[in-house]
Amino acid sequence: MAAIRRFRRQGGWDVVGLVGGDATQYDPDTGILTVAAADTYEGLPAKLHAAFVWIMTNRPATPGIFKTDDDMVFDQVALIDTIYSNLSTPYWGVKVGTCSAGPIDSSRVGARFTDTTLKPTHKAAIYCYGWGYWVSARALAIILASGNEYRSSYIEDICTGFVMNRSGIVPQRIRVPYKEESRTPDLLLLK
């Protein structure tokens, strides 16, 4: 909710918050999209894929999606300018990394996974960290066709990188001023 409230203050954006649940429904008053997916960290790839499908089905003229977490605070003027300047860039983010295929680093997911017995792996990818990344409409078509990968993956940003890389798209790093904030009530007050 914090990110939705912050971005809606700027106006002109169709800001969608995402939660998992039993059925897919959108509340235009709050901007919350509930998708039929687990609302867990390990369910995030499937949840994000379901959201992308809903957005492109219900907002087909969308030029792309900037995905970020609610605890990320961006210089919104710089972010808007950067998005408009890079609308046609298929896939870019504020941080780009590379990982080899193999077991997921338990320090990255251990405390976040509901099922702590999982020992998942991931595929190799050059990917944008989940802090904030853009996927153009052209690249979203690739994601929409990759539901199986998202349903069988455990790390959303690496999965997106893998799917993009497989189609010959490597992310670009594009700088946008940002900071990561603590998830506290004060987060709602930030611009």
Task: Name beta bridge partners: 26.
Answer: 33
Residue 33 or 114, more confident: 33
pLDDT interval class at 141 (50, 70, 90): very high
**pLDDT at res. 190:** 46
Full-model pTM: 0.89
- Fold that domain 2-181 belongs to in CATH: Spore Coat Polysaccharide Biosynthesis Protein SpsA; Chain A (3.90.550)
Q: What is the mean pLDDT of residues 148-156?
A: 95
CA distances from 131 to 29, 74, 92, 138, 169 (A): 26, 10, 11, 21, 19
Q: Quick check: 189 and 1 in contact, CB under 8 A? A: no
Tokens of 67: 């995905």
CA distances from 31 to 8, 76, 155 (A): 9, 18, 25
Task: Name beta bridge partners: 25.
Answer: 34
Q: Is the pLDDT of residue 189 over 60?
A: no
**pLDDT at res. 98:** 96
Task: Write down how long the chain is.
Answer: 191
Distance (Å, whole) CA 180 – CA 73: 6
pLDDT in tens, 156-185: 999 999 999 999 999 999 999 888 877 665
pLDDT interval class at 74 (50, 70, 90): confident
Residue 118: CA atoms inside 13 Å, Cβ hemisphere, count? Answer: 22
Q: What is the mean pLDDT of residues 105-124?
A: 83
